[in-house]
Homo-oligomer: A and B are copies of this chain.
Amino acid sequence: MRKIIFILLATISGNLTSAQEIEGIPGEVKPKYILVVHGGSGTMPKENMTPNIEKEYRSILKKALQEGYNVLNAGKSSLDGVQAAIHVLENSPLFNAGKGSVFANSGKNEMDAAIMDGSNLKAGTVSSISVIKNPIDAARAVMDQTEHVMLSGAEADKFAEEAGCEAVDSSYFYTEERWKQLIIAKTKAQPKTSSLNNIEELKTIFGTKDLDFKIGTVGGVALDKDGNLAAGTSTGGMTNKRYGRIGDSPIIGAGTYANNLTAGISCTGWGEYFIRTVAAHRVSALVEFGNKTLDEAAHQVINEIDEMGGDGGLIALDKNGNISTPFSTEGMYRGMVDEHGNISVYIYK
């Protein structure tokens, strides 16, 4: 019987290099399938984090990991696992993605998302969309249903609707806290050419937990039973953002990248620095031909961003199940689940 299960699992896995021997049962293997998620990095003063708020964050992270695990455990792809986990985070008002997205200067929610398949380097991304309930679905539709990679603006919304993604009234994205943040930012900050120029001033104004306006991008990376990696990222961008600013999340190579040869990577932080360093692909390239371990590569890129004056973090996962989650900020909402269903979540270092 054990032998039959072994053969069955080996067949399902299709890639024994990604299988591990189950402890205590010689010869018995269970393919590794792992999911890692993040809910953004940033300044999280402990005085603003009440036990109740912390419990809420941990609870949603766990729910996302559980949903993603259910998908992977059922034998579905890493893409499906990432998408399922990101759904949960997008549907929560706690994170700056989907339902909890911040408001742009226009008074609209302008959301970005990306997904990438490490098995064939296919990818789909959307930027500045406003009516799709789950932006990660729009990104997946771009990947699956077009030969394009990146669609943007109202036309991307239109495509996603035509492709079958659920559209909602803009009131769905309204949350009182995010609206207040916009009002304060607009009336007090009066940015000139860039909303980022005034970030120090804004920091002194805000009394919310979302002090640096960069917290809350969500993302996931997964390894499935077939040994395939995927990565996805979704964000509401930056409060009071103007001029159609696009951050790193929907940029393949910057905020999102997956390649079976190396890793799945999803980033969060000060997007401009992740674009300029081509952060996600840089981690991958350091592993692929820079002789770095995944952890060394991931830390090197976050350190480079830190030295340039930026900050943030990333989650990375390779085909052997190695995980790295470096960040240069005070905290990063993150968690992981392994093939046995063991869930761990973390906020601070």
A residues sitting closer than 8 Å to B (CB atoms) are 106, 121-123, 127-128, 145-156, 158-159, 162-163, 193-194, 196-197, 242-247, 251-254, 257, 271-272, 275-278, 281-282, 285-286, 288-291, 308
Which residue, A151, A253, A257, A291, has most C-beta atoms of chain B within 10 A? A253
CB-CB under 8 A for A275 and B244, given A254-B252, A290-B289, A308-B121: no
Question: In the bound complex, do residue B243 and residue A147 qualify as a contact, i.e. CB atoms below 8 Å apart?
Answer: no
Question: In the bound complex, do residue A148 and residue B272 qualify as a contact, i.e. CB atoms below 8 Å apart?
Answer: yes
Identical subunits present: 2
Chain B residues closer than 8 Å to A245, beta-carbon distance: 148, 150-152
Chain B residues closer than 8 Å to A147, beta-carbon distance: 194, 196-197, 272
CB-CB under 8 A for A289 and B285, given A153-B153, A251-B253, A252-B251: yes
Chain B residues closer than 8 Å to A149, beta-carbon distance: 271-272, 275-276
Question: In the bound complex, do residue B152 and residue A127 qualify as a contact, i.e. CB atoms below 8 Å apart?
Answer: yes
Chain B residues closer than 8 Å to A121, beta-carbon distance: 276-277, 308
CB distance from A2 to the nearest CB of B (A): 42
How far apart sit A154 and B110, CA to CA, in the bound complex (Å)? 14
Q: Is the interface of A mostly helix, strand, loop or mixed?
A: mixed
Chain B residues closer than 8 Å to A148, beta-carbon distance: 194, 196, 243, 245, 272
CB distance from A119 to the nearest CB of B (A): 12
Identify A242's interface contact among B155, B163, B275, CB under 8 A.
B155
CB-CB under 8 A for A193 and B151, given A252-B251, A253-B281, A281-B285: no
Chain B residues closer than 8 Å to A281, beta-carbon distance: 253, 278, 281-282, 285
Chain B residues closer than 8 Å to A152, beta-carbon distance: 127-128, 152-153, 244-246
Q: List 11 A-B contacts (CB under 8 A).
A: A123-B275, A147-B197, A149-B271, A149-B272, A150-B246, A152-B244, A153-B244, A285-B285, A285-B289, A285-B290, A289-B290
Question: In the bound complex, do residue B158 and residue A243 qualify as a contact, i.e. CB atoms below 8 Å apart?
Answer: yes
4 A-B pairs with the lowest CB-CB distances in the bound complex, closest first: A253-B278, A285-B285, A289-B290, A152-B244
Chain B residues closer than 8 Å to A153, beta-carbon distance: 128, 152-153, 244
CB distance from A114 to the nearest CB of B (A): 10
Given contacts A152-B152, A253-B254, 11 further A-B contacts (CB under 8 A): A128-B152, A128-B153, A146-B193, A147-B197, A152-B244, A152-B246, A158-B243, A253-B275, A253-B281, A281-B281, A285-B286
Question: In the bound complex, do residue A243 and residue B151 qualify as a contact, i.e. CB atoms below 8 Å apart?
Answer: yes
How far apart sit A196 and B196, CA to CA, in the bound complex (Å)? 37
Question: In the bound complex, do residue A244 and residue B145 qualify as a contact, i.e. CB atoms below 8 Å apart?
Answer: no
